[in-house]
Amino acid sequence: MELSDGQKYGAIFGGAIVAAGLILATVVFPFWNLIREDVFEEVVILTNTDGTCYVETEDMVPKTIEDCAAQPGDTVMIKFGRDLAWAAIVEPGDG
């Protein structure tokens, strides 16, 4: 089976579009931007509403901590992804 000229050009055009898409995807939105740096910070619990604690961190993004037993005013160590709004309480030395 032989492809006509139109089919050959269409295949080349389609391949060029896929290649351009892959290049743009890696240059404009690199995969490694999805992998965030883990940050550890000592914070004070602001509120605890039905087991969900809220804290404020140095990056100025309020963090939500699920299944939290700490009380408002308690100082805890948390771990979170940079610029994300969720965190987890960790024991000092965990990592």
Confidence of residue 82 (pLDDT cuts 50, 70, 90): confident
Report the pLDDT value the prediction gives residue 31, as an integer from 0 to 100. 67
Which residues, listed in sequence order, are joined to residue 39 by a DSSP beta bridge? Answer: 80
Average pLDDT in the chain: 88
Confidence of residue 83 (pLDDT cuts 50, 70, 90): confident
DSSP 21: H
Here the tokens at position 2 are 């032989």
Q: Residue 38: which of 85, 80, 94 has the closest Cα?
A: 80
pLDDT tens-digit map of 15-31: 999 999 888 877 777 66
Q: How do strand 75-81 and strand 86-90 relate by DSSP bridges?
A: antiparallel
Report the pLDDT value the prediction gives residue 27, as an integer from 0 to 100. 78
Here the tokens at position 65 are 């901590």
Report the pLDDT value the prediction gives residue 76, as an integer from 0 to 100. 96
Q: What single-letter amino acid sits at 77?
A: M
